[in-house]
Structure 1
Amino acid sequence: MSKIIFVSNRLPVTVKKSETEIEYSKSIGGLATGLKSYHEQSDSLWAGWPGVAKDDLNEEETQTISNELQESYNCLPIFLSEQEIEQYYHGFCNETIWPLFHYFNDKAEYTTDTWDAYKNVNQKFFDALEPEIGPNDTIWIHDYQLMLLPQMIREKYPDTQIGFFLHIPFPSFEIYRLLIWREEILQGLLGANLIGFHTYDYVRHFLSSVRRLLGKEHNLYKINGETHTTQVDAFPMGIDYDYFAAPTQSQNLSSEAQEFIESTKSVQNIISVDRLDYTKGIPDRIKAFKQFLAQYPEYHEKVRLNLIVAPSRVGVEAYDSLKREIEELVSEVNGKYGTLSWMPVWFFFRTFTQDDLIAFYRNSDVLLVTPLRDGMNLVAKEYIASRTDYKGMIVLSETAGAASELGEGVIVNPNDYGEIAAGIKTALDMPDHEKIERNKMLHVRLSRYNVKFWADEFLEALKNTTEEQTPTRPLLNLKSGYSDMEKVYSDSKKRLLFLDYDGTLVGFKPTPEQAKPDEELKQLLAGLCADPRNTVVIITGRDRFVMEKWLGDLDLHIIASHGLWFRKPGADEDWMMTVNVDNDWKDTIRHILEKYTDRTPGSLIEEKEYSLAWHYRQCEPDMIGLKRDELKEALLSITNSMTIGVLEGNKVLEVKDNRINKGHGAHLLLRDQEYDFILGVGDDTTDEDLFSALPKDSYSVKIGTGNTHANYRLKSVKDMRLLLKRLVTQNKQEV
């Protein structure tokens, strides 16, 4: 029976060890609330760290905690040592990813030790999950601590439904590119079927980074991978609206909350709620409030800022320094503007219960929430939901994810103290009827798109994404035993092997000249050619002289220039032209290509004997789409009435005679003899003509993704090399 597995850095249950007992306490956070209905199902599981270091537990305690969490809470604990917590969580997660993704690149640290710890802990999560993963399970992974995990699961369980949600911002490409391990992180995330972000800005940033760093384009937010398609979309996280809108029991409130409620009778109150973190812009908020008092003296002794800051990472110098800065700024404002009967800023450095916070929300005229960068900021939504009288107003940073949903609030630039000050005045002065009108719209939105709706929508999208996966050709299994194709190869007596070159035998390089064969490839090809049952053919779009220089010393056939030139093995063999063509068209086309090359930095022209190729692999991804389409349109308009055409390959446009293609070249060998095993391998659209030309009982293999006529696929050049090694090994064993 299939089940849902939730994976996050922390479990929704926190374990604490005291001198006398082990205590368990449930989280009341947004994520735990949103997934509660799913997690309470008997067939669900939640994996994560329980909050206690493994070093502090003996074997018996570890087993006791594991049993209790699994039996009573449906949780799978993954125990981390103090060193792992320090290097993986406090190190890579909080000193590299957190500042960089929040645009504080000057605070980001790049340390190999912490990166290694991050990889190892992600692997540790996978190792713990592996025994639990069953057929058709759905796995939903959460947040930046586990960005490598989706691909780890995908490699071992390619048919599993995997979702990933990032709860912090995804930065723009210009910021993300600073990360040393940027490609590994992207590859890890792309193991998921569905990747969710809070806003479409983050979606756009992610897709831009994937395109620029991995060269993968998207179609309607879908990215084709080696084994699956990854859908990317925005799912703004909601809150438990009913909880915050419900009446609060006053007897449950702390003395500080009750004192606050009593004090609201004499002044208008502004509330600010954050945890201690440099991304929240708390010092800037105090400075903006100070400017508000300077600009609008009529509010002196009539308004108060209640600054609630929850302790975070106590003992870390940067955070302790931030706390001192906040305290000094509060003292400065109170010293300058305070009176015997009025203190303009009340500072609470402590954690309040949810009931206390709701009381603060309901008795505050304005919520001031101006983070410098925030993934969502649920406090803004909690405040609106708590104000069931519709008379509160928010002043919200435009760089918080919530700003895209709460446009009825007063939206400000968190770096502009004057704008924040003016925003505070606007919110305080806003007539009740206008606040009520705005808040009613917000309440409808928040009550509908609550945290349960968010979870339901994501899981439904994940289900639809996996159901809508484009059927692909089966993947050749090279991990265990011999594939059916290899068995037929072993039993056959006369074989014909068509092998494309670029993207099949060698990976793509910045320039064509850099793709010359390495020693391993030459040995593999020589091994294939050594078997007298094999006729090995390199069939490529490359120029004949280049291929002769690179592979002419091997006992193989070469079909070059997409089928135009044919050469049999042997140093004395001459090249044969398969179609009579001319170059009368070249000057006109070259002039056009040169014009676009001058306008498109990174592009280059490769001149072949009877064709011209325009390569754009090194071009700026955001710019090349428009330029490529313009050039293609210009070329098509000129070649429309000619025998030449435009062929679109992998990051290349090639102009050549329409009568020439790889299928035409393959016929030169297919027509002369009978073979009991035929294999054709290629990676792009130019190889589809080859696949179509092969007899029905042939084996055709597409390298990579995309629509194809081939009947099998391999993931990469690396896997193709592995297949060649296996075929060569069979040859040696059978001799």
Structure 2
Amino acid sequence: MSKTIFVSNRLPVTVSKHESGLEYKESIGGLATGLKNYHEQGSTVWAGWPGVAQDDLSEEESSSVADTLRNDYKCLSVPLTSDDIEQYYHGFCNETIWPLFHYFTSAVEYKKETWEAYQRVNRKFFDSVDPLIEEGDTIWIHDYQLMLLPQMIREKHPDVKIGFFLHIPFPSYEIYRQMIWRDEILQGLMGANLIGFHTYDYVRHFLSSVRRLLGHEHSLYKMQLESHVVQVDAFPMGIDYDYFAKTPTKENASQETMDFVKSTQNVRNIISVDRLDYTKGIPDRIKAFKQFLSNYPEYREKVRLNLIIAPSRVGIEKYDNLKREIEELVSEVNGEYGTFNWMPVWFFFRTVSQDDLIAFYRHSDVLLVTPLRDGMNLVAKEYVASRTDYKGMLVMSETAGAASELGEAIIVNTNDHEAIAAGIKMALEMPEDDKMDRNKNMHRRISRYNVKFWAEEFLNTLQGSPEEKIHTEPLDRLTSASSELDLAYRTANKRVLFLDYDGTLVGFKPTPDQARPDRELKQLLTTLTEDPKNTVVIITGRDRFTAEKWLGDLNLSIVAAHGLWFRPAGGEWTMTLNIDNEWKEAIRPIMETYTDRTPGSLIEEKDYSIAWHYRQSEPDIAAVKRNELKEALMSITQSMTVGVLDGNKVIEVKDTRVNKGHGAHLMLRQGNFDFVFGAGDDRTDEDMFAALPEHAYSVKIGKEVTAARYRLKSSADIRALLGRFTQVSGEVAEDAAKSK
């Protein structure tokens, strides 16, 4: 029976060790609440770190923790040491990823040892869940601590459904590109079938980074990879609405809280709730409240800001300094505006229970939420849900993820103290009818899209994620001694190998002239041509001069310019068709115009074709200019004998009578080959595949739709396959020598 495996850095159960023994405490709120129903009722396992370091437990205690979590809580404990937590979590997660993804680039620290710890711990998570994974399972991975895990699972279990959700912002490309290990993290995430974010801004930023750094284009938020389709979408996380709307205040809140609430009845209360973190904008919030008291003196002694801050990372210098700054600002405001009977800011540095928070919410006229950057900010939704009288008002910064959902709130610029001050005044003075209308709209939204709906929508989307897959033949299957291809090559007496160059024998380079053949490739081709049974043909779109310069010293045939020029091994170049270049005079100025308009693009002029390359151009600009250029070229070439060829990051104009199929026919007519092999990577090679006989063996490099029989991932794979051919040639020659 298939199951669902949830994976997060922390389990929904925290284990702590005391003198009296081990204590187990279930988490409330957020992710734990959202997945509670699924976890308790379905066939599920939740994997994560239990909160106690492995090296703090004896072997017996460690075994006890694992057994208790498994049997009583359906959880799998991932054992992490104190060093793991320090280097991976406090190190890479909180000193590198957290500040960068929240746009605090000056606070980012890049350390090789913490990156290695991040890789190591992601591998530990994989090693822990790997034995549980079976065909048909669904795996949902959570948050920035485990961004390498999806690809690790994909490599070992290619047919399971993998989901990933990021609970913090994903930054813009200009910010993300500063990450040293940016490609590795993106590749890790791309192992998932479904990647979820809180807002469409984060979706857009992620897709932009993937396109610019990995080269994957998307269509309707879907990207086709070699092994699977990756879907990206926004799933704004909700809260347990009923809990906040229906929990009784007096019965559940502490007496201390209720006494405090009672003491505030004669003032208008503004509440601020955060954990201690530099991304929350707490100092600016206090300064904005000070500005409010300065701008609107009529509110002095009539309002109070209750600042509730939960301790976080106590003992870390950066956070201790932040706490000190907050305390100084609070003292400054109270010293300047306070009286014997009134203190404008009350600062609570403590963890407050959710029931006590509900009491605070229900007795506060305004909630002030002004983070500098926040993935979602559930406090805003909690406040709205708690105010079932619809009389509270939310003042929120536009950089909180929740701002995209709660548009009826008063939205402000977190850096503009004047705007925040004006927002507070507007919230306090808003007519009751207006306030209630706004709140009712927000209530309807968050009551429907609650945390259970969020989890359900994500899992349903994951289950329905695209099944269409591009089948990529495993390299070891093609190169094994028992494969059909291997046997056909081994027993053949006369072979021909058609090999495309760019993207097949050599990976794509930033500019065309950087794709020169390396020593390994030239040695490989030399060894292939040394077998007298082999005829090796390089069939390329390159011009004959470049092909001759790079490969002319090898004993192989070359078909250049997509079949226009042919040079047999050791022979001279001949033109296969009589064509002219008069059309170039009309085409060249158009391409030059778009080259000027598209930084990074360039023109490559060949004998009888012109190509516009845009691999180095900014993708968004290139996408627009490519379509404009293609449309312009299609229009002007309608009455000509030339056509527009849309290749891999290149648009080429050439005579329509010339193609690689034409070039392949030239060679096939010259001999009765009993083994025909062709390899290519783009649309121009489809003409070659179509020209090959039915018994031919054709290999497509990459993920595009193809008529080829086989498919491999990269130029490295095709080189490995050709290397196997040389090995077989050697074995056949050896066997022949022994039989004489």
After TM superposition, the score normalised by the length of structure 2 is 0.96
Residue 279 of structure 2 aligns to a residue whose secondary structure is helix
Moved more, 38-47 or 284-293: 38-47
* Aligned residue in 2 for 1:128: 128
**2:430 is the alignment partner of 1:430:** yes
C-alpha distance in 2 between matches for 1:434 and 1:487:
80
Question: Once the 2 structures are TM-superposed, how far is the Cα of residue 249 of structure 1 from its aligned partner?
Answer: 5.1
* Aligned residue in 2 for 1:230: 230
C-alpha distance in 2 between matches for 1:490 and 1:378:
65
* Paired AA for residue 629 in structure 1: N
C-alpha distance in 2 between matches for 1:294 and 1:353:
33
* Paired AA for residue 315 in structure 2: G
Moved more, 365-374 or 244-253: 244-253
* Aligned residue in 2 for 1:607: 605
Question: Once the 2 structures are TM-superposed, how far is the Cα of residue 55 of structure 1 from its aligned partner?
Answer: 1.4
Moved more, 676-685 or 317-326: 676-685
C-alpha distance in 1 between matches for 2:724 and 2:237:
49
* Paired AA for residue 323 in structure 1: K
C-alpha distance in 1 between matches for 2:9 and 2:495:
53
* Aligned residue in 2 for 1:240: 240
Q: Which among 697, 703, 708 is matched to residue 699 of structure 1?
A: 697
Question: Once the 2 structures are TM-superposed, how far is the Cα of residue 494 of structure 1 from its aligned partner?
Answer: 2.9
Structure 1 residues 545-579: Cα deviation after superposition (integer angstroms, max 9, x where no partner) = 21122122222221111111122112xx0122221
Corresponding pairs, count = 731
8 Å Cα contact 1:563/1:662 also seen in 2:
yes
* Aligned residue in 2 for 1:57: 57
8 Å Cα contact 1:274/1:309 also seen in 2:
yes
8 Å Cα contact 2:249/2:358 also seen in 1:
no
C-alpha distance in 2 between matches for 1:396 and 1:314:
27
8 Å Cα contact 2:475/2:717 also seen in 1:
no
C-alpha distance in 1 between matches for 2:65 and 2:229:
39
* Aligned residue in 2 for 1:532: 532
* Paired AA for residue 137 in structure 1: D
Q: Which among 721, 725, 728 is matched to residue 726 of structure 2?
A: 728
C-alpha distance in 2 between matches for 1:7 and 1:492:
52
Question: Once the 2 structures are TM-superposed, how far is the Cα of residue 474 of structure 1 from its aligned partner?
Answer: 4.3
* Aligned residue in 2 for 1:70: 70
Residue 597 of structure 1 aligns to a residue whose secondary structure is helix
* Aligned residue in 2 for 1:618: 616
Q: How does 1:540-551 map to 2 (within 5 A)?
A: 540-551=540-551
* Paired AA for residue 669 in structure 2: R
C-alpha distance in 2 between matches for 1:733 and 1:40:
60
8 Å Cα contact 1:16/1:23 also seen in 2:
yes
* Paired AA for residue 512 in structure 1: P
C-alpha distance in 2 between matches for 1:127 and 1:364:
48
8 Å Cα contact 2:564/2:659 also seen in 1:
yes
Question: Once the 2 structures are TM-superposed, how far is the Cα of residue 538 of structure 1 from its aligned partner?
Answer: 1.1
C-alpha distance in 1 between matches for 2:311 and 2:487:
65
8 Å Cα contact 2:228/2:469 also seen in 1:
no
Residue 478 of structure 1 aligns to a residue whose secondary structure is helix
C-alpha distance in 2 between matches for 1:327 and 1:8:
34
Structure 1: state its 5+ residue gaps: none
**2:168 is the alignment partner of 1:168:** yes
C-alpha distance in 1 between matches for 2:406 and 2:119:
37
8 Å Cα contact 1:473/1:711 also seen in 2:
no
* Aligned residue in 1 for 2:396: 396
Question: Once the 2 structures are TM-superposed, how far is the Cα of residue 587 of structure 1 from its aligned partner?
Answer: 2.4
* Paired AA for residue 122 in structure 1: N
* Aligned residue in 2 for 1:113: 113
8 Å Cα contact 2:226/2:472 also seen in 1:
no
C-alpha distance in 1 between matches for 2:721 and 2:124:
31
* Paired AA for residue 34 in structure 2: G
Question: Once the 2 structures are TM-superposed, how far is the Cα of residue 481 of structure 1 from its aligned partner?
Answer: 4.2
Question: Once the 2 structures are TM-superposed, how far is the Cα of residue 471 of structure 1 from its aligned partner?
Answer: 4.3
Residue 439 of structure 2 aligns to a residue whose secondary structure is helix
* Aligned residue in 1 for 2:464: 464
C-alpha distance in 2 between matches for 1:209 and 1:539:
34
**2:515 is the alignment partner of 1:515:** yes
Residue 9 of structure 1 aligns to a residue whose secondary structure is strand
Residue 308 of structure 2 aligns to a residue whose secondary structure is strand
Structure 1 residues 407-437: Cα deviation after superposition (integer angstroms, max 9, x where no partner) = 0111111100111011111111112222211
8 Å Cα contact 2:176/2:182 also seen in 1:
yes
Moved more, 663-672 or 108-117: 663-672
Question: Once the 2 structures are TM-superposed, how far is the Cα of residue 734 of structure 1 from its aligned partner?
Answer: 2.8
**2:695 is the alignment partner of 1:663:** no
Moved more, 478-487 or 410-419: 478-487
Q: How does 1:229-628 map to 2 (within 5 A)?
A: 229-248=229-248, 250-465=250-465, 468-478=466-476, 481-482=480-481, 483-570=483-570, 573-628=571-626
After TM superposition, the score normalised by the length of structure 1 is 0.97
Residue 318 of structure 2 aligns to a residue whose secondary structure is helix
8 Å Cα contact 1:414/1:420 also seen in 2:
yes
**2:85 is the alignment partner of 1:90:** no
* Aligned residue in 2 for 1:682: 680
C-alpha distance in 2 between matches for 1:85 and 1:474:
38
Q: CA RMSD in A?
A: 1.5
8 Å Cα contact 2:362/2:386 also seen in 1:
yes
8 Å Cα contact 1:172/1:206 also seen in 2:
yes
Structure 1 residues 457-479: Cα deviation after superposition (integer angstroms, max 9, x where no partner) = 111111121xx333434423427
* Paired AA for residue 593 in structure 2: K
Moved more, 248-257 or 263-272: 248-257
**2:642 is the alignment partner of 1:644:** yes
Question: Once the 2 structures are TM-superposed, how far is the Cα of residue 522 of structure 1 from its aligned partner?
Answer: 1.4
Residue 40 of structure 1 aligns to a residue whose secondary structure is helix
Structure 1 residues 507-549: Cα deviation after superposition (integer angstroms, max 9, x where no partner) = 1111111101111111222222222332221111011121122
Structure 1 residues 92-128: Cα deviation after superposition (integer angstroms, max 9, x where no partner) = 1100110011011010111111111111111121122
* Paired AA for residue 683 in structure 1: D
8 Å Cα contact 1:504/1:703 also seen in 2:
yes
8 Å Cα contact 1:529/1:536 also seen in 2:
yes
Q: How does 1:190-209 map to 2 (within 5 A)?
A: 190-209=190-209
C-alpha distance in 2 between matches for 1:79 and 1:117:
14
C-alpha distance in 2 between matches for 1:461 and 1:161:
11
Question: Once the 2 structures are TM-superposed, how far is the Cα of residue 179 of structure 1 from its aligned partner?
Answer: 0.9
* Paired AA for residue 383 in structure 2: Y
Moved more, 396-405 or 71-80: 71-80
8 Å Cα contact 1:397/1:413 also seen in 2:
yes
Structure 1 residues 653-708: Cα deviation after superposition (integer angstroms, max 9, x where no partner) = 11110001111111112234333332221111111111222223322221111222
* Paired AA for residue 668 in structure 2: L
Q: How does 1:179-194 map to 2 (within 5 A)?
A: 179-194=179-194
CA 1:481 to 1:60, structure 2 compared with 1: closer, same or farther past 3 Å? Answer: farther
* Paired AA for residue 236 in structure 1: P
8 Å Cα contact 1:474/1:711 also seen in 2:
no
Residue 433 of structure 1 aligns to a residue whose secondary structure is helix
* Paired AA for residue 173 in structure 1: Y
Q: Percent identity?
A: 70
8 Å Cα contact 1:227/1:715 also seen in 2:
no
8 Å Cα contact 1:473/1:710 also seen in 2:
no
Structure 1 residues 214-244: Cα deviation after superposition (integer angstroms, max 9, x where no partner) = 2221111112212112111111001111111
C-alpha distance in 1 between matches for 2:641 and 2:266:
87
C-alpha distance in 2 between matches for 1:375 and 1:651:
35
Residue 368 of structure 1 aligns to a residue whose secondary structure is strand
Moved more, 477-486 or 523-532: 477-486
